Amino acid sequence: MASAVFASGGEKPRKIDYPEYPPAPARQSPEGAEKASIDCISCHTDTDAKTMHVNPGVQIGCADCHGGNPTVQVGAVVFPDSKLFEQTKADAHVQPTLPDSWGETSGAPERSYTLLNRESPEYVRFVNPGDLRVAAEACGACHMDLVKAAKSSLMATTAMLWGGASYNNGILPFKRYILGEAYTREGEPAAIQAPENFVMTPELQKSSVLPGLVPLPVWETVPPADNFRIFERGGRFVRSQFPEIGQPNSLEEPGKPDVRQSNRGPGTGTRISVPVLNIHKTRLNDPTTWFDGTMDNPGDFRSSGCSSCHVVYANDRDPLHSGPYAKYGHWGQTITSDPTIKDLKGEDGEPEKGHPLKHQFTSAIPTSQCMICHMHQPNMFLNSYLGYTMWDYESDAPLMWPEQQANPSPEEIRQVNDRNPEEAAIRGKWADLDFLSRVWDDVNPQAKDTQFADYHGHGWNFRAVFKRDRDGTLLDAKGAPVADDLPPAEKWKRAVHMRDIHADAGMQCTDCHFAQDNHGNGFLHGEVAAEVEIRCRDCHGTTSAKASLRTSGPAAPSGGNDLSGLLNMDGRPRFVWRAGKLYQRLVLPPHEERPVVQVRDSVTPIWVATHGSVRAKTMAKGQSMNWGSKIPKQQRAHDENMACFTCHSSWVTSCGGCHLTIQANWKSEGHHYEGGESRNFATYNPQVARDQMFQLGVHGEVKDGIIAPVRSSSALVFSSVDGNRNKIYIQQQPVSAGGYSAQAFAPHFPHTVRKTETKTCTDCHISDANDNNAIMAQLLLLGTNFVNFLGFNAWVGTEHAIQAVQVTEWDEPQAVIGSYLHRYAYPDWFENHVGNKMRLDDPSVGNMDGDPDWVKSVRGFLSRSIPGIDLYDGNYGHHSGEARCVQLRGEYLYVAEGKKGMQAFDVANIGNKAFSERIVSAPWSPLGQNVRIKSKDATCVALPTTQMLRPERNRTSIETRPEDLEQPMHAIYSYAAVTDSEEGLILVNVETLGDFEPRNNYFQRAVTWNPEGALDGATYAHFSGHILYVSASQGIAVVDLDDPLSPKLLSMIPLNQPRASMQQFRYLFAVDADGLKVIDVTRPEQPRIVPGASVPLAEANRVSVARTYAYVAAGSEGLAIIDIEKPESPKLLTKFPANGKLNDAHDGTIATTNASLFAYVADGRNGLKVLQLTSPDLNP
């Protein structure tokens, strides 16, 4: 496992011959225990729990657990600062082989990561007997089954991340994962196997049980799976190691460098898998329980192994999160009675950090201890239980960004990113640890937009989620509006913080997740849901029976574990029945009782009379609306085929994108195996995190395919900056091993159960008012075009050229230039932009804008020809035919060029400063590549998705790995649809541009189709699944491409010169010569033009629909914004001509960046306008 690019520096281990330290005994006499501590107490004269256990029946001594020599005594006249004292301590204590790495303090070092692997097991046991490398010796005599289970649990193996990342990024084809983290006693990488005598059965396979896991390979030799152009074959001059900086190869063509990452095969040079590198080096869900916490941020303090959970550290001052431990702060400082530790001071003069609160094990574990790890997406992102989600960089931005722009030095950047992987932190106030630690104290009392948590794992900030209506209005507990201009103290007191109701009741994670959920059941699993034994009904019962107090989740043993036998630390039962009611005593002292609501009690007529929503529990299928206990189970609409939390969740977090940028010139430490410093480091940059998106899907086989909430949890885009600071690819999407996009959605338990703020009927069913069309589109994962990702460049189509226009900063956060976020994150560059008259024609960027109406004047954009606009200085373009329609996917720009047909331009090097021509029609002559389709008059090109796909991977997966249960990809995803005003519809198979093979890049027509001239005059096409809507002379043709090679004309919607359309769930929104019109396409073969559902517009050119608004490029009237919350009653909200600066609007699109929504509008006279539609100051 040794790294090929390993730093030669680093501390060399001392050679120490350790005596044999025997395992701790299961039983011994009090005298034997005293002997093992006999002279330890000459220094440690007092301690919190002599045996580390509060149970007085445990008889062990110091050396039984820690090792060392308990017979060395400090004499009464030996002074603590003397050499004799230090020598005596050295004789008594086990000595490290790497003393400098451990530091001079007794507190755990910051970011130790692999230090535990490189240190001797004897010293590891001395500092933490609960470490998984040595726990079998120190804890195994009494707890061996738990030790073995803990090593196999996901908290140790992290198989869900490593396996998920390898599959979602196409690195390995196994949906039943094979990668996991484990180590030997000596810290060597280990494969971990299922329990002895294990035999895989269909039942175990269904339960996601794995036969074994192997170590993660080193990143330097793993072939790339990303179909990015730089990883293709064909390197000529690149050597198989990092290049010499500033010494270009003299044989390279000027302005056209050889950018391929190796002149040999995959897995050589830098032709490697970047996601594997990210796992090794970027702080994702690191560190696992094999390692100590990083001990560097408030909320990052814990030990390793068994002690990760059972030894409590101070991490969070919120009593709901930490219970009685909250008063001890969040800096990992001790309250021990041990005189050798309690008075230790750090460099800041404060009590030394990196210590547990006490020398004492406990099963009364607070949520704050769990949140050290579970605050990040790969670790389930359980901030939602406490009512928090990722901060968006915009809420209360004036309080979080410095007034003077921060321009940190390389040393300062490295210092911040070592403890916080988000690049934005280097410019924010929270780069200062003192500021970070006082956000709860100093920022919250002033905050107008949100409130922040007191824990800061990874150095991050987490914002609170509050009760709001669909329009975003802040509400109080009774549903009344809370004024945004109230003083913060009153405002947030009235607002409802959307914590899980169990958290409101004072319950910690361990009040629901008991011993097995936290230790594992001894089996290896690849998904989180498979390792959970508890279900809602185990404590709350069902509509027909009260709670059994027997676990019934996927990991429960046959018959379930009996919860009635659980005891709290005070010896009393955790659960108790009293007078027919169930009560639970909380895990944290003082162990208060809470009633446990029984579902059966909530479906009685008396209860329903005052709580009508509970009818849903027994509602019959169909239209009868009958309900009650008499409805047979098999006839109920919401039965056991739906998770309880589908309705009872109040909100769901959803990640709309994270940007990982790899920097070749950054050296950083590896976080796994042997560690070591090497080049390349990727920052981790959340871009869009929403809390108002509610979506449903089907759970996997481990949950029997029940319906459950779904979130986007792996929406990654990658960029890379090479050793010469060239951007060799920017914001590219990986593709999964199953051929689908890596933008993964996951069914899960949101941990946001509420009593009042739960889902209602119209969150999942069409309302009588017909005002939830967008809600339904979102619910069913059809999308609403709200969280669209536009990215670094907007793409321009003009009469004679195509062009890329930079619209965001490259640095993180990648703020839209001139936006609200830009004003606060980059105040200097913002002012430069204002001084540049708000124009984006300077490639140096750092130009920002402050127009009060948020109009950003730049150069041309997106689809549709823009008369009078050609190539401009400061941005990058390429001559073309009349670019009537453009569409970016991956590193190719598809362009409909009129008389020149359709062509895919290679834009892979758009960010690479070494290229003099950044957009090319082909990297070589048409003999070697021809991705043009000649046609008479190409007017538009449409792709069924803008996500990157690999259809051939999908076919292989289904044929060769049926156990992956991958779904067949529809055939339409292999094609691009081209409209031609004379030839009609042309379908082109475009798989070749995503198959990682540059030698077969040739386009051919697959279909040319125009039945009886139905598509004559075709100007525009829009996909909705396998239905294609084509705007033509006769109207909008509804074309069924279920069989792409045999198109069918389903219907023709008669409109007056239709220009464009976009579908949202049941409705098609179309623009024609009369304006906007609404068509009911619930049945595509029988579309219905909705009478009266129209908005007259003099010049409606294109339409883009996002959530409850339609945005129409309305020519001289600018951008028309139309309220379509009720699709059959559209209302013109406003026309925005930007004071005459937006008077020839041809096209536009909508996209989200961070917390704000933007419109990018192409104006034929004035170029591109960027409008900020929402922001914290415009929409609190």
Question: In this model, does residue 845 exceed pLDDT 80?
Answer: no
Q: Is residue 692 part of a domain?
A: no
**Residue 871 maps to a domain:** yes
Domain final residue, candidates 457, 480, 504: 504
pLDDT for 79: 66
Summarize pLDDT for 429-485 with one digit per residue, the tens: 999 999 999 999 999 999 999 999 999 999 999 999 999 999 999 999 999 999 999
Q: What is the pLDDT of residues 1109-1141, one digit of tens each?
A: 999 999 999 999 999 999 999 999 999 999 999
CB 1029 within 8 A of CB 1010: no
The domain boundary residue, chosen from 483, 504, 525? 504
Phi, psi values for residue 735, rounded to 5°: -125, 140
- Which span out of 489-503, 797-811, 827-841 was modeled with the highest average pLDDT? 489-503
Check whether 617 has a pLDDT greater than 60.
Answer: yes
Structure confidence at residue 384 as a pLDDT band (50, 70, 90): very high
Model confidence over 595-604: pLDDT tens digits? Answer: 999 999 988 7
Please state the rounded mean pLDDT for residues 785-790.
Answer: 93
Is residue 129 within 8 A of residue 138, CB to CB? The reply is yes
Question: Quick one: average pLDDT of 907-927?
Answer: 91
What's the farthest any 2 CA atoms get from each other in the chain?
A: 108
Whole-number Cα distances in Å, 659 to 285, 421, 670, 688:
16, 11, 20, 10
Q: For residues 1076-1099, b (16+ Cβ closer than 10 Å) or e, as one string? A: bbbbbbeebeebebbeebbbebeb
In a 3-state reduction of DSSP, which class is residue 1012?
A: helix
Is the pLDDT at 868 greater than 80? The verdict is: no
The more confidently predicted of residues 956 and 2 is 956
Please give the Cα distance from 663 to 241 (Å, whole number): 16
Whether pLDDT at 4 is above 70: no
Query: Does residue 730 lie within any of the structural domains?
Result: no
1126 assigned to some structural domain: yes
Alpha carbons 288 and 151: distance in angstroms, whole number: 11
Of the two residues 618 and 1154, the one the predictor is more confident about is: 1154
* Residue 418, token pair as written in the block: 């070592």
Q: What is the pLDDT of residue 248?
A: 64
Instruction: Please give the C-alpha separations between residue 188 and each of 23, 183, 297, 322, 675, in angstroms, as whole numbers.
Output: 21, 5, 28, 36, 11
Looking at the predicted structure, is the pLDDT value of residue 9 above 80? no
pLDDT digits (tens, 9 = 90+) for 976-1016: 999 999 999 999 999 999 998 999 999 999 999 999 999 99
In a domain, 289, yes or no: no
For 879, half-sphere exposure in the C-beta direction (CA atoms, 13 angstrom radius) is 0
Residue 549 has pLDDT above 80, yes or no: yes
Each residue's pLDDT tens digit, 324-362 = 999 999 999 999 999 999 988 887 788 999 999 999 999
Total domains present in the chain: 2
Mean pLDDT for 725-741 is 94
Contact, 551 vs 534, CB < 8 A?
yes
The tens digit of pLDDT for each residue in 161-201 reads 999 999 999 999 999 999 999 999 999 999 999 988 899 99
Joined tokens for residue 26: 């299961």
pLDDT class of 878 with cuts at 50, 70, 90: confident
968 in a structural domain: yes
Res 847: pLDDT: 31
- Pick from 454, 474, 504: which residue ends a domain? 504
Using one digit for the tens of pLDDT, what is the confidence trace for 36-95?
999 999 999 999 999 999 999 999 999 999 999 999 988 765 667 788 888 999 999 999
- Tokens of residue 51, six digits: 């045996």
Highest mean pLDDT among 226-240, 242-256, 420-434: 420-434
Q: Is 28 exposed, middle or buried (0-12, 13-18, 19+ CB in 10 A)?
A: middle
Mean pLDDT of all residues belonging to the chain: 91
Q: Where are the alpha helices (DSSP H) in 455-495?
A: 488-494
Distance CA 1104, CA 550 (A): 52
Q: Are 919 and 883 in contact (CB under 8 A)?
A: no
Report the C-alpha gap between 768 and 784 in whole angstroms.
Answer: 21
Range of the domain at 1128: 793-1172
Q: Count the neighbouring beta carbons within 10 Å of the beta carbon of residue 1040.
A: 18
Q: Round to whole Å and give the CA distance between 744 and 945.
A: 15
Global pTM value: 0.94
Write the burial class of residue 201 (CB in 10 Å: 0-12 exposed, 13-18 middle, 19+ buried).
Answer: exposed
Q: What is the mean pLDDT of residues 382-402?
A: 97
Whether 811 maps to a domain, the answer reads yes
Per-residue model confidence (pLDDT) at position 78:
66
Domain assignment present for residue 91? The answer is no
Region 1158-1169: mean pLDDT is 92
CATH of the domain at 1035: 2.130.10.10
- For residues 47 and 337, the answer to whether their CB atoms sit within 8 Å is yes
Residue 312 has pLDDT above 70, yes or no: yes
Banded pLDDT at 608 (limits 50, 70, 90): low
